Amino acid sequence: MTGTLYERLGGRESISAVVEVFYERVLGDDRVNHFFENTDMSALRAHQTKFLASVTGGPVEYDGEDLSSAHAHLDIDGEEFEIIAHHLDAALADLDVPETEREEVVAAVAELEPAIVSAK
């Protein structure tokens, strides 16, 4: 298939649906939901949708905080990162995103790990 990953995923509406399912999964997981206790989830969903749209090549300018500053104070470790990355993959699968596109999203997200993980 041709086009940017953003287009192949189905554009902003599909990404927004993925983000919805992703945070439902995350908030249902007691290993990581404590991180989001004081978070304005509708603002986070909006930022995450923009962020994913921009990293997948969409015509969207992410204007949120840069990822290291957004996560530095959270003291996230590698295992917690894996849990969250898995929920993203599972959300993509729930919405029937084909494996090729899922792998591309997961690979793009894996590159962000050094910016997000700060726990020793």
- Nearest approach in angstroms of CB 103 to ligand HEM is 15
- Nearest approach in angstroms of CB 57 to ligand HEM is 15
Residues that bind ligand HEM (CB under 6 A): 32, 35-36, 39, 44, 47-48, 51, 64-65, 67, 70-71, 74, 76, 80-81, 84-85, 109, 112, 116
Q: Which is nearer to ligand HEM, 1 or 110 (CB)?
A: 110
Q: What is the number of other CB atoms lying within 10 angstroms of the CB of residue 17?
A: 16
Rounded CA separation 88/86 (Å) = 5
Q: Are 111 and 57 in contact (CB under 8 A)?
A: no
Q: Which is nearer to ligand HEM, 80 or 101 (CB)?
A: 80
- Nearest approach in angstroms of CB 113 to ligand HEM is 8
Residue with tokens 């003291």: 75
Rounded CA separation 98/51 (Å) = 21
